[in-house]
Amino acid sequence: MIMNYYDLIFYLFAAVTLLSALMVVTNRNIVHSAFYLLFTFFGVAGLYVLLAADFIAIVQLIVYVGGILILLLFGVMLTNKITNVEIKTGTINLVPAVIGVGLFAGALLAAVVNAPWKINNTEQAFPTTKILGTLLIQEYLLIFELLGIVLLIALIGAASIARK
Amino acid sequence: MTVGLTHFLVVSTLLFSMGLYAIITRKNAVMVLMGIELVLNSANINFVAFSRFGNFGYSGHLVALFVIVLAAAEAAIALAIVLNIYKNMSTVNVDEIDNLRE
């Protein structure tokens, strides 16, 4: 039986996300990790598109790939002696971490797979931008304004901490 | 078996576990931040997936949006702190930063 395109694209994006995330956490070179993180964010944006969340996907691309990843790369470059090629990073607690995270992931996977989710598979309207905008200025107005203030204070605080 | 809610939850669980692994094992503070970003992304996948397959309207999308905003603020603050730590102690390895003053 031929898989339909939706499933095929889901497996493609899931593979991109998980493989590049694996490279992020196992690579010893921080700059390589940061670049693999790019593919992880792209894969997650693709998963959002498959979940009919087009606005979230675009925001993911703009904020994560365009903003946070660049910030992380600046962090790597400003805190390493580039000239001495010291961009390697060590690891600690390797064995307990593998055991603990393995057990945790196994338990969580078992719970997620076996849980009797009530699925209500209704088709959602695809351009979600208008709906989200309406919700943001009606039901979620207070949270929206608070987030604006939080972002402003965080950016002022970051600038003042970094300049000291 | 066609792709449904469980598939997305499995992907986000694996992403969460890898982020947790990075947070625990990496010495470099910037790598710990990358692990935190992976964890936040996996939580966002869950929000959007439940919003798609549950009957909650678009609240999940909005929470995912708020998480993205908070992640941006967190990354900016955390990197400022990391830069200050580097300036003061000339290392960003979290296992070597064990005193409160210089």
Q: Supply the CATH number for residue A37's domain.
A: 1.20.120.1200
Chain A residue numbers touching B20 (CB-CB < 8 A): 101, 104
Chain mean pLDDT for chain A:
87
Question: According to the model, what pLDDT value does residue A90 have?
Answer: 74
Q: Is residue A116 part of a domain?
A: no
For range A2-8, the mean pLDDT: 80
Q: Is residue A49 part of a domain?
A: yes
For residues A65 and A3, the model is more confident at: A65
Q: Which of A61, A90, A119 is the last residue of a domain?
A: A90
- Total domains in the fold of chain A: 2
pTM for the model stands at 0.90
C-alpha span between A152 and A149 (Å, rounded): 5
pLDDT in tens, A103-122: 999 999 999 999 888 887 66
From the list A85, A87, A93, A105, the residue with the least C-alpha distance to A22 is A105
Q: Least CA distance to B20: which residue of chain A?
A: A101
What does the CA dihedral B21, B22, B28, B32 come to, rounded to 10 degrees? -110
Q: Which fold has domain B5-89?
A: Helix Hairpins (1.10.287)
For range A88-93, the mean pLDDT: 74
Q: Is residue A58 part of a domain?
A: yes
C-alpha span between A70 and B30 (Å, rounded): 12
Q: Is residue A118 part of a domain?
A: no
Which B residues in the span 3-32 are in contact with A, Cβ-Cβ below 8 Å? 3-11, 13-22, 24-31
Ranges of residues in chain B with a pLDDT under 50 are none
Q: Is residue A84 part of a domain?
A: yes
From the list B81, B17, B40, the residue with the least C-alpha distance to A71 is B81
Report CB contact under 8 Å: A18, B15. yes
Domain that holds residue A137: 127-164
* CB distance A97 to B21 below 8 Å: yes
Place of tokens 């449904």: B4
Question: According to the model, what pLDDT value does residue A83 have?
Answer: 52
Chain A residue numbers touching B71 (CB-CB < 8 A): 63-64, 68
Question: According to the model, what pLDDT value does residue B1 have?
Answer: 60
Report CB contact under 8 Å: A7, B92. no
> Is the same domain home to A154 and A85?
no
Q: Is residue A52 part of a domain?
A: yes
- Residues facing B26 on adjacent strands: A91
What's the pLDDT band for A125 if we cut at 50, 70, 90? Answer: low
Q: What element of type H or E holds B86?
A: helix B59-89
Minimal C-alpha gap between B68 and chain A (Å): 7
> Is the same domain home to A82 and A135?
no
